Structure 1
Amino acid sequence: MSGELSPIDKAKFVAAKRAADMVEDGMRVGLGTGSTAAWLVRCLGEMVREDGLRFSGVPTSARTAQLAREVGIEVLSLDEARWLDLTIDGADEFDRDLNLIKGGGGALLQEKIVAAASDQMVVIADKAKEVESLGAFPLPIEVVPFGWQTTQALVEETLISMDVMGRTSTLRMSHSSPYIADEGNHVLDLHLVRIGNPRQLALILNQIPGVVDNGLFIDICDTVVIGYGDGRVEVRDINEGTIETDRIDFVETDNLFKDLSD
């Protein structure tokens, strides 16, 4: 099995494994969406089965909910949980201030709502996701289907006055049809190259009619857990100003790794 996993996958696993240890009995925990979050859900499922961990998970997408149920995690809706102790999710990019770009998996709206309803947000990522300036990864925005082309034109016109290097956008597709997010919205990916002022851009994009929300997560993330392919883990807490390092033994077990195709 070890020959089948790339260093990036190993880095994602050790970050997820380290973050899973932050979950305690009785917690209500937001469960993110994407490849790194899938490792987390698998790790937590193993802790439920093997260690007797008892907690409630609030998934940020339908596919995370399905995986959580498959591995034995109790699943609640956000309305049922109301408020969360912790949300653990991945990110497409993060900078040194722990500003994020999220939404590569198409679930940015539910991810942001869940993260905002949590006492703490922890991001799990491999080292490659850390950047000096956000924007190399396309910035997703959810837009309502009605008049989406008009919304797209308004967004591109707005970008002219923003501190970005690129100003084109594309409609995300699923095969030959527009991709539909869980809330029924379309997703536009903005190809910005570099975002000079993420906070300003996030505020202005959300003022455009037709834009539901954008994938810039500003002042939401508290801690980032960074995994490396050799098993090293770095935990940065922006509130405490601390950096901790650790190493996690990489042991592959069939029940944890089988059928993980996210």
Structure 2
Amino acid sequence: MTSGSNPALAALALSPDPPAVPAKPVITQVLDTTLSVIEKSKRLAAWTAVDHHIRPEHKIIGIGSGSTVPYVVERIVAQGEQVNRDRVFLPTGFQSKELIVRANLRLGDVDQYPNIDVTIDGADEVDHELNCIKGGGACHLREKVLAEAADTWIVVADYRKNSQTLGTTYRSGVPIEVAPFAYAKLLQNVRRLGSADAALRMAQGGKAGPVVTDNGNFVIDAPFDADAFADPHSLLARIKLLTGVVEVGLFCKMARAAYFGNADGSVTIKWDDGKIEKGSSLPT
């Protein structure tokens, strides 16, 4: 699932020498090993995508959201101060803004730079046609704006997000950003579209009440069955037409390519023309 701001991960991703930790029980060590594989796969996807698509001539670059994105920024920084000096980086939310600022990269906004060379972003799930579910971190309105503004939109994720059909691995549902005053009626209408378990996303960590996006809106999570996801574009259109919907976390046929880091140290690249490539070497 695409996450929101993760300062611990950001610090780890931007630090060449993670701090030493004391020995842990065997069960915890096994869990840490699993997480290490996942983090390495995220890093592989991000590094490879940056190497392939962030070229010296690219000056306006969109930085997306999620747990893979710190590795995108890490790899961009590794290109050097000289090449980054004349670049401007546009964030999709608080997390990516913090990553840009902490990396001493120049921060910009899409209202200043409506034409973007490349945007690299994460995803909650990607199907065989590069349709994506996004919005687990409640940033999908701004993410979609930066995706549409980019000449090239690239998705990076680990192997768990690579699916044949949407809704297979990401079961929380389609994220729908909605006007707060209309959420109750929209819940009824989304359920009538076939999402019987559609629900308002509630805040975690002790805060009472719903999640509020950077735009001041609420989020409805709407699970649909496999038949609905057979045509994601049609599902997107039906939801988007509901009055009060601000944006829908379905990104249909927008990506040029999707990069997935695999557990075996390889990377799978899916292209928008249907071609699939797999490489076995780590970027240097």
Tell me the alpha carbon deviations over residues 4-49 of structure 1, each in whole angstroms, 9 at most, x when there is no partner.
Answer: 5521111001000111112123421111101012221222233345
2:183 is matched with 148
For 2:281 and 2:54, the matched residues in 1 are separated by 17
Instruction: State how far apart, in whole Å, the 2-side matches of 1:127 and 1:225 are.
Output: 9
Any conservation in 2 of the 1:24–1:53 contact (CA below 8 Å)? no
SS in 2 for 1:134: coil
Contact kept? 1:102, 1:217, Cα under 8 Å: yes
Deviation at 1:249, TM superposition (A): 3.6
Match of 1:60 among 92, 113, 119: 92
- How far the C-alpha of 1:191 sits from its partner, in A, is 1.8
Structure 1 distance, partners of 2:281, 2:99, is 24
The 3-state SS of whatever aligns with 2:75 is helix
Q: 1:128 aligns with which of 160, 184, 194?
A: 160
2:251 corresponds to: 217
CA root-mean-square deviation: 2.1
Cα pair distance change 1:193/1:12, threshold 3 Å: farther
Instruction: After superposing the two structures, state which structure 1 stretch, 19-28 or 105-114, moved more.
Output: 19-28
Identity within the alignment, %: 33
What is the CA deviation profile of residues 55-92 of structure 1, one whole-angstrom value per residue up to 9, with x for unaligned ones? 22111112211111101221110011120111111111
Equivalent residue of 2:72, what SS? helix
Residues 1:75 and 2:104 are matched in the alignment? no
In structure 2, the residue matched to 1:15 is 45
Q: Deviation digits for residues 75-121 of structure 1, max 9, x if unmatched?
A: 11001112011111111111111111011111000000110011111
Q: TM-score scaled by structure 1?
A: 0.86
Which amino acid is 1:6 matched to? S
Please state how far the C-alpha of 1:193 moved relative to its aligned partner.
4.3
User: Structure 2: any 5+ residue segments left out of the alignment?
Assistant: 1-17, 21-28
Q: 2:116 aligns with which of 55, 68, 84?
A: 84
| Separation in structure 2 between the aligned mates of residue 244 and residue 74 of structure 1, nearest angstrom | 33
Q: Cα distance, 1:157 vs. partner?
A: 1.2
SS of alignment partner, residue 254 of structure 2: coil
Closer, same or farther in 2 for the Cα pair 1:52/1:83, shift >3 Å? closer
Distance 1:244 1:157 in 2: 40
Task: Describe the SS at the equivalent of 1:135.
Answer: coil
Distance 1:118 1:205 in 2: 24
Task: Tell me the TM-score normalised to structure 2 length.
Answer: 0.79
For 2:222 and 2:275, the matched residues in 1 are separated by 33
Q: Is the 8 A contact 2:120 2:154 kept in 1?
A: yes
Cα separation, 2, equivalents of 1:115 and 1:250 = 25
AA partner of residue 112 (structure 2): E
Q: Quick one: distance in 1 between partners of 2:138 and 2:116?
A: 22
Point out 4+ residue stretches in structure 1 off by more than 6 angstroms.
none
Aligned 8 A contact 1:10 1:230 in 2: no
Q: Distance in 2 between matches of 1:48 and 1:142?
A: 37
Structure 1 gap ranges (5+) = 160-165, 252-262
C-alpha distance in structure 2 between counterparts of 1:230 and 1:237, whole Å? 21
The answer for the alignment partner of 2:23 in structure 1 is: none
Cα contact 1:45–1:68 (8 A) shared by 2? no
Q: Say if 2:224 is the partner of 1:192.
A: yes
**What do the CA deviations read for 1:151-195 (whole angstroms, capped 9, x no partner)?**
111111122xxxxxx531111121322111111110111122432
* Residues 222-241 of structure 1 mapped to structure 2, 5 A cutoff: 222-239=256-273, 241=274
Partners of 1:46 and 1:71 within 8 A in 2: no
The Cα of 1:132 is off from its aligned counterpart by: 2.0
229-238 or 118-127, which deviates more: 229-238
Question: 148, 156, 171: which one pairs with 2:200?
Answer: 171
Find the counterpart in structure 2 of residue 110 from structure 1: 142
Indicate if the aligned counterparts of 2:253 and 2:272 stay in contact, CA closer than 8 A: no
Matched to 1:141, the amino acid is I
1:257 alignment counterpart: none
CA 211–95 in structure 1, closer or farther in 2 if over 3 Å, else same: same
What does the per-residue CA deviation read over 1:224-248, in whole Å, with 9 as the maximum and x for residues that have no partner?
1111133211222223x44333344
Corresponding position of 1:255:
none
Question: More relative contact order in 1 or in 2 (CA 8 Å, sep 6+)?
Answer: 1
